[in-house]
Amino acid sequence: MKRRHNKEDRRVLMARMEQDNVPRTTLSFYRYVHLENPALTRNQLYAAWEELGVLGRTYVAREGINAQISVPTDRFEEFKAHLDSLDWLSNLRLNVAVEQGKSFFKLIVRVKDKIVADGLNDDTFDVTDCGEHLKADQFNALTDQEDTVLIDMRNAYESEVGHFEGAICPDVNTFREEITLVEDMLQDKKDANIVMYCTGGIRCEKASAYLKHKGFPNVHQLEGGIIEYTRQAKASGLRNKFVGKNFVFDERLAERISDDVIAKCHTCGTSCDDHVNCANPTCNILMIQCSSCGEALKHTCSEPCKAFIELPEEEQKAKRKGTKARGGFMSGHKGLSPDEAPTPRSRQ
């Protein structure tokens, strides 16, 4: 089968997305399953999804699939029927986004070594022996207990704008860093009830299995992550214990869960939880910036970056030669995680 991918210029695709008024449904899903030929699977999915008008980013690996996509709303049932027609994807839980919007501008399906970059040797433990899954009401009940340890398994730039009440939010840049840090952090709490959560569940699937392998007997994880919790809490009239925004890895950047603004502008310290990328393409750092600082700095992160984009275009091009986007703490977020991008990186 011919390898297929979209070669159109990013700017053209972005403009097309902005002009497109077709209603779309943004969702994510994952499944750990053994795939004999990820490349063949990738090509088959791309061909089917391209025909269905799917946009978004997906990883396929020998260990399974991890996807964050958008589907034309009037073809959503057709898309679900397509998934159910594949034995390895039937009866899949789809995490439909809390807030809809223009999320993706092209279709990417890639073969990877892993569907989440975790740095673990999967041969040393059973990745399917994960923690007990908790529905929203069970999560609330267990996290209301004083001796429960609640861990946010996302990166710092995610938890900075929103997290569950009482959660421990490790100051890490990648999921790979967090797993070992959490293991060390919990050494004196091995018999406690440990509850983990992430955006859509995939990081906790692996991390909870790893902790059980390491001798933690009472590991739990939030089923479907923040996205599914929010849906269940609303449907059941439960108190929603998530405060702020849920960071997402697409053009929306975040879903508003509560009205609380818990973060601050990285430039001036004003209460703000809006993520943006520095307008200097050689920087592209992901930051929280208020509208006032954005206007004053021309949507860059600093005076040097502002000065750079004020240079004539030819001079900017000359200075950019041989450089790559700076990979700082919050360097452009929008590579996938689909659900969960394990590593922040520059826009594609």
Instruction: Report DSSP letters for 197-230, one per residue.
Output: E-SSSHHHHHHHHHHHHTT---EEEETTHHHHHH
- Per the DSSP assignment, residues forming a β-bridge with 96 are 27
Does residue 43 sit in helix, strand or coil?
helix
C-beta of residue 300 within 8 angstroms of C-beta of residue 306 = yes
Residue 342 to residue 336: CA distance in whole angstroms: 8
CA atoms within 13 A on the CB side of 170: 25
273 phi, psi to nearest 5 deg: -140, 35
Where do we find the tokens 């799917």? 54
Cβ neighbors of 298 (< 8 A, separation 6 or more) are 279, 306, 309, 310
Q: Closest by alpha carbon to 272, among 293, 242, 301, 303?
A: 293
For residues 287 and 198, give the distance between their C-alpha atoms in angstroms, rounded to a whole number.
Answer: 20
The residue with tokens 């398994």 is 153
Which candidate in 130, 169, 198, 278 is catalytic?
Answer: 198
Active-site residue, 204 included: no
How many C-beta atoms lie closer than 10 Å to residue 288's C-beta?
Answer: 20
Helices (H), 33-174: 38-52, 76-84, 136-143, 156-159
Q: Any idea which residues carry the catalytic annotation?
A: 198
